[in-house]
Structure 1
Amino acid sequence: MEDDIQPSRPNVVKQLFRRIGEIQQGLLDQATPHMTFRWALTLVLFILYFLRVYLLQGWYIVTYALGIYLLNLFIGFLTPKIDPSLNMDSDDGPELPTRSSDEFKPFMRRLPEFKFWYSGTKAVCVATFCTFFEAFNIPVFWPILVMYFIILFVITMKRQIKHMIRHKYVPWSGGKTKYKGKEDTGKVVVAK
């Protein structure tokens, strides 16, 4: 009795998903430096989603859930990685400067811009996918959902802005500081 041990072939389905994952990661790597293009693409997806919901007159629960999820992502984007209100005494990591004499430490977000974009884009795609199934079209009185969302947004942003004021941080910057050098007078200076 001979054991014919053949090398095991990787599962075809597993190889297919691995290849799809590699292609997706390659596209994400290529898109990373093109922030304006990425957000423009997401804006187009939003517009297509809202047009679909408006024209079909339904899927308000899906839209409400999408709004809540995006609000949650936005709060993570605005919040520092290390919350100063929780870590006032600890020396675990970088903290925001509280006095003008403190050393500047860059603002590190809890949710980086790329992950914010990627998660938001995936959420819009999932919400659009849900609009193809009637099971997700739960009948609701949509003005109530709009009112709930506006109230939730105002309360959440008020709390976030108070947090920013209390801990003196701004979650965005105007970019790298550019220093202006001396003006060129056109005179040639010869060193002796």
Structure 2
Amino acid sequence: MEGVGGGDAGSAVAPLAKWRDELSRAFQYYLDRSTPNPVHRWLGTLAVVAVYVLRVFYVQGFYIVSYGLGIYILNLLIGFLSPKVDPELEALDGASLPTRGSDEFKPFIRRLPEFKFWYSITKAFCVAFLMTFFSVFDVPVFWPILLFYWVVLFTLTMKRQIMHMIKYKYVPFSIGKQRYTGKRPDAANSD
């Protein structure tokens, strides 16, 4: 008699857990397939951004949500542009960036890899888009003040990041595969 009531609840949970596992597996499959296609991933994210911007423009609200989204994206951008090991902290340990040609080469490794950067931004825009359907998040504010404050915050933060890049001589971007060539012959020797 005791097992009759408990079996009904257990049988209802099993299909739900199976469905959730299948959905999770399918999502991970498509996420894995998108990994080697950064252009397609970013184009998809631009489409999500366009939908969000159109929604905010159409509704004429949700400026606090947009401001919070902007701050979050700025935080992600700093992680994307920063090295995994901060040279300021590394200098305290005795190791430092190479300063001479004979020093060991250390490649630039990001604190936040590109895939996680893309995934976090896409998730953030999706969550912000869903938040625009709930009026509790539509706090009335004077949006030009928020925009001005965000621009000032962005400018100061990027200035500090660029100064850090200049001080420790690293560039977080690389375009294509580097090609190395041998020494070029002198013009006088080519005759």
Q: TM-score range by the shorter chain?
A: 0.7 to 0.9
In structure 2, what is the Cα distance between the partners aligned to 1:177 and 1:168?
18
Secondary structure in 2 aligned to 1:108?
Answer: coil
Q: Deviations over 1:49-84 (max 9, x none)?
A: 111101110000000000000000000000000001
How far apart in 2 are the matches of 1:143 and 1:17? Answer: 43
Q: Does 1:18 align with 2:21?
A: yes
Structure 2 regions of 5+ residues with no counterpart? 183-191
In the alignment, which residue of structure 1 is the partner of 2:125?
124
Q: Give the C-alpha shift of residue 180 in structure 1.
A: 5.4
Q: Which residue of 2 aligns with 1:44?
A: 47
Q: 1:31 corresponds to which residue?
A: 34
1:98/1:17 CA distance change after superposition, 3 Å: farther
Partners of 1:72 and 1:53 in 2: how far apart? 22
> For residue 166 of structure 1, what is the amino acid of its counterpart?
K
Aligned match of 2:98: 97
- SS of 1:86 mapped into structure 2: helix
User: Deviations 1:102-160 (Å, cap 9, x if unpaired)?
Assistant: 22221110000000000000000000000011111010000010011000000000000
Q: After superposition, where does 1:94-173 map in structure 2 within 5 Å?
A: 96-173=97-174
Secondary structure class of the residue paired with 2:154: helix
> How many Å separate the matches in 1 of 2:43 and 2:57?
21
CA–CA separation in structure 1 for the residues paired with 2:114 and 2:97: 19
Partners of 1:31 and 1:38 within 8 A in 2: yes
Map 1:74-89 onto structure 2 (within 5 A).
Answer: 74-89=77-92
**Identity percentage of aligned residues:** 55
Q: What is the CA distance between 1:14 and its match in structure 2?
A: 1.8
Partner of 1:65: 68
On the 8 A contact 1:60/1:142 being kept in 2, the answer is yes
Contact 1:84 1:96 in 2 (8 A): yes
Write the distance in 2 (CA, Å) between the matches of 1:55 and 1:140: 17
Residue pair 1:98, 1:167 contacting (<8 A) in 2 also: no
Q: Structure 1, residues 15-53: CA drift from partner, whole Å, max 9, x if none?
A: 222111111110011000000000011011111111110
Gaps of 5+ in 1: 182-192
Q: How far, CA to CA, are the matches of 1:91 and 1:28 in structure 2?
A: 40
TM-score, structure 2 length as denominator? 0.84
Give the 4+ runs in structure 1 shifted more than 3 A: none
**Greater alpha carbon shift after TM alignment, 11-20 vs 38-47:** 11-20
